[in-house]
Structure 1
Amino acid sequence: MLLMSQLPRPIFESYEIFIDQNFSSPEPGMVCVRVYLDSFEPMVEAYKGYLAARSFLRSFSDNSFTFTSYRTHVERLLLWSMLIKRKPFSQLKRQDAEDYLEFCRNPPADWIGPIVRGRFVSSSHTESTWGDLVMPNDK
């Protein structure tokens, strides 16, 4: 059985929800994200990585299109560092960047979604679906 932290999950909200959160809080506003981050081993410093990524995204939150694009990439990199590398986000080096790019060229099946889906689709906010990477259609 896989632990919750062994599967990729969305951790950043939609633009509308993101810009309306309390940035002075050191924790995510959504309970399901807090539970997910708590499920990681302490050595990956999940909250520290989350806060660094959130701060970066906040600096680009004046434009919804820029935010959405950056959120996709920053979230994927943060999840990769915690799930695949099992390394704190703050300790990534050049070789890690090269490894990440290689990972993006050939991601595992559970990181690929057949369609673009809504984020945090469960009404109870206790479960969420992942599917950020999209498999290209054969033409």
Structure 2
Amino acid sequence: MNVGRLAAYAGLFVLGAIVGVAGALVQQAWAPGGLLLALAGSAGAFYGGSRATGTRGGAVAPAAGWLVAVMFLTATRPEGDFVFGAGLGSYVFLLGGMGVAVMCATLGQSPQPGASDARLGK
């Protein structure tokens, strides 16, 4: 691991946290469009991080930031304030975001081999 890759992972972690907070605020708005927008933003951050770094860690870093931010927002405070309501959309956002993170982290990263100059079979 070099310093550039660690910096990229740290930036992706912060990006994932920002996407998680934005998704938490948007997912209840414009039902069901807000939920779809929040999940699409999460998927874009996870898959984009994976493609940008070329590794599975590129998807895990924003997913970890997303999870930290979302879990922080689900906790109730002593004042009784919390971001997520007890609706179906909140659970779909939480479970769907985790599912999208797993899918993006487990996608294969190896490119298809190019065409060979050799003639096969002769």
Output the TM-score relative to the length of structure 2. Answer: 0.34
Return the index of the structure with the highest Cα Rg: 2
Q: Larger % of helix: which?
A: 2
